[in-house]
Amino acid sequence: MIRKIGTALLALVVLAYGVFWITAPGNGDPEQYGEVASGYDVRIVRDAFGAPHIFGNRDVDVSFGLAFAHAEDDFATIQDVVLATRGKLSTLKGPDAAKTDYLIQWMNIWGVVDAGYETRISQKTRDHAEAYADGLNYYASENPGKVATGVLPFTGKDIVAGFTFKTPLFFGFDQVVAKVVEGEYGTGLDRTAALQVTDAPQPDLGSQGVAVAPSRSSDGHTRLLVNSHQPLTGPVAWYEARVKSNEGWDMAGGTFPGSPIILHGTGPTLGWANTVNKPDLVDVYNLTINPENENQYLLDGAWRDFDIEEADIDVTFFGPVRWTFHEPIYRSVHGSVFKTDKGAFAIRWAGMDEMRTMEEMIALNKARTIKDFEAALAMMAMPSINYVYADKDGNIAHYYNAMMPNRAEGVDWSGLVPGDRSDLVWQGYHAFGDIPKTVNPPSGSVFNANNTPYVATEGEGSARPEDYPASMGVETGMTNRALRLVELLSAEKVISEKAFHTIKYDNGYSASSLVAGIVKDVGAMPLDADLDAARLHLLGWDRMTDVENRHAALGVLTVTPFIMADMRGEPRPDLRDAFERAVQMLKDNFGRLDVPWGDVNRLVRGKQNWPLSGAPDVLRAVYAEWNEEAGHLEATAGDSYIMFVEWDENGAQSVRSVHSFGSTTLDQSSPHYSDQAPIFADERERVLPLDMAALEEEKTSERHLGGPEN
């Protein structure tokens, strides 16, 4: 169905299921939401770079203010995120978004949220979500011309549902769905091949977090690197904010459009970095359909009826005119089902019945000790994500956090699972105490760079594979970034502030990496005489990617297709073709092979651009697309928001951060549209003003919403 909706023949599909024409419903008068501010009292102060610092007496005041401030900078993306979460994005974006809308209904996102909203999360969590929604509604009342038809009012359920929909995308759930739909699951290719089934960017390009304990630091300080790799723009691009209430919510860091909390960053006493982890959290069951009744499947020797619902997809085609079409959704005891020309397959995934993720994130935001932090993680309401943790008391840790299904042992869960046995339909998840973790290892350092939790430090203390059952599906691979972290950390007996900074911006590939092997293979490959010079040039590469490096351009262009294929589980390309294409690209666009890497690799914002060090799967991570018109690479993902957090021996905190562009996402006339870009490109950061005196000294604007003044 997802494939069918995505085709150019969508109109014929619609006609096949019955079409009716309607006029798209409006929002009513957006100004009606102007009164909601009277229930809140919040102060929004923007610093020298336009990042909002939001203060209020209550958590809900601050949540309201966070929504309003973020809407000022990126309302268009926020409303797209909410429409996608509702399964209504195609009312705004047209037929191309219909596959996302169908998937939302197929996943039963709203069934889960509606069933648990009043009973499974606390009143405080609901109030927090509803305050954020009110902040969006209030922004809409002041800016009615920016509001999409039918989006108002934003609700607390919209915000809670956003977590239920988005979080499985981070462990590759949608990629497994795509393989099932395309008839490629179980064909021998890796199960996580990146076939697009939603309009959401694939958040699988990497991340890293590093923490260093006082025992390892040159000055006795605790150090934390927060360094997630995300798309530079769009629904999962980072937005920096600081939030502080008198009820104990005090965080600075990064969040996404539509998110009412800080996703990772730091509070006054502790902080954490998130990285994507991908244990095996999705199971595909091969169903046997009754040949005499296609609405029944075999389970424990008896035919069972599918539960059948109907998806209603509203698609805008011509201005205000919508067509609604209908498609059945089949559900079995295993989960939702796809019927394809290869058979019928049910999918069961971690978090399919979970809607408490936001509540866990609020608890993490308000944690002040490692005990608080672990208690929040023990809710086990986040389907997957690594946490690299540090605090002012010198504790450091890596938690391989995931909702790992309680599966039966002795079954190959990595491929198709028999669908006719109820004993294979797992129930529940392993407890927090069962997950791999590394806490305060002897080395005094921990890290994760999307690698196995069995290597979380360069010395002893990592989780051991023999302690975890095979049914958990724990990752065992190492990225280049993880290999480099082992090498770089091992080389530093003590780690100073400068060394920590240098490690983060390392732009090299390990001698043990895939890249080193590819270069070696090019060296051994028979080539025509006219490519010998190019080969010699490649063999002169030191595997570094600094802006002045004159061998990196050929090296990175040659190896990137292999890196991306491995990351996405796709077949590797032909080595000769990849090398020849890289050579030709440089000759066509620069007339030579020895072009400085910074001339090829660029950070582009509006009409400006800057040279960048870095490349795919290095610690200075840059993922780029070729701009045919400009004739160079343009960074699209990777390093995007970077934070260095430090606590001294007395617990005093300092924070430096940088964003790839700036706080204003869409307004090119704003000074904050690109004011951080040259700092980012130069591998520097700015000091984040966390005390009021420093903030007042550099503030660029201030606004008070609600309260007695209004």
Question: Does residue 344 register a pLDDT over 80?
Answer: yes
pLDDT tens, 125-173? 999 999 999 999 999 999 999 999 899 999 999 999 999 999 999 998 9
Contact 53, 46 (CB under 8 A): yes
Q: How far, rounded to the nearest angstrom, does the alpha carbon of residue 34 sit from its chain's CA centroid? A: 33
pLDDT tens, 201-257? 344 568 999 999 999 999 999 999 999 999 999 999 999 999 999 999 999 999 999
pLDDT tens, 100-115? 999 999 999 999 999 9
- Mapped onto helix, strand or coil, the DSSP state of residue 526 is coil
DSSP assignment letter at 510: -
pLDDT tens, 388-427? 999 999 999 999 999 999 999 999 999 999 999 999 999 9
DSSP assignment letter at 381: -
Contact 366, 248 (CB under 8 A): yes
Amino acid at 560: T
Q: What are the φ/ψ torsions at residue 608 (nearest 5 degrees)?
A: -110, 155
Contact 177, 348 (CB under 8 A): no
Q: Residue 156 has which token pair?
A: 């607390």
**Residue of 432, 289, 464 whose CA lies nearest to 364:** 432
Q: Say how far apart CA 112 and CA 302 lie, in whole Å.
A: 28
- Mapped onto helix, strand or coil, the DSSP state of residue 349 is strand
pLDDT tens, 25-59? 567 789 899 999 999 999 999 999 999 999 999 99
| Secondary structure tally for the chain: helices H, strands E | 20, 30
In the chain, % of residues over pLDDT 90 = 84
Contact 328, 308 (CB under 8 A): yes
pLDDT tens, 607-652? 999 999 999 999 999 999 999 999 999 999 999 999 999 999 999 9
Contact 144, 31 (CB under 8 A): yes
Q: How far is CA 73 from CA 131, 231, 234, 696, in A?
A: 18, 17, 12, 21
The pLDDT value recorded for residue 26 is 62
**Residue of 677, 590, 689 whose CA lies nearest to 632:** 590
Q: Say how far apart CA 666 and CA 237 lie, in whole Å.
A: 13
According to the 3-state scheme, what is the secondary structure of 665-688? Answer: CCCCCCCCCCCCHHHHHCCCCEEC
534: Cβ contacts below 8 Å, ≥ 6 apart: 554, 579, 583, 593
User: CA neighbours within 13 Å on the CB side: how many for 109?
Assistant: 25
Q: Residue 365 has which token pair?
A: 């935001």
Q: Residue 710 has which token pair?
A: 């209004």
**Residue of 569, 707, 706 whose CA lies nearest to 138:** 706
The pLDDT value recorded for residue 709 is 52
Across the strands, what pairs with 45? Answer: 53, 702
Tokens 């008391």 appear where? 393
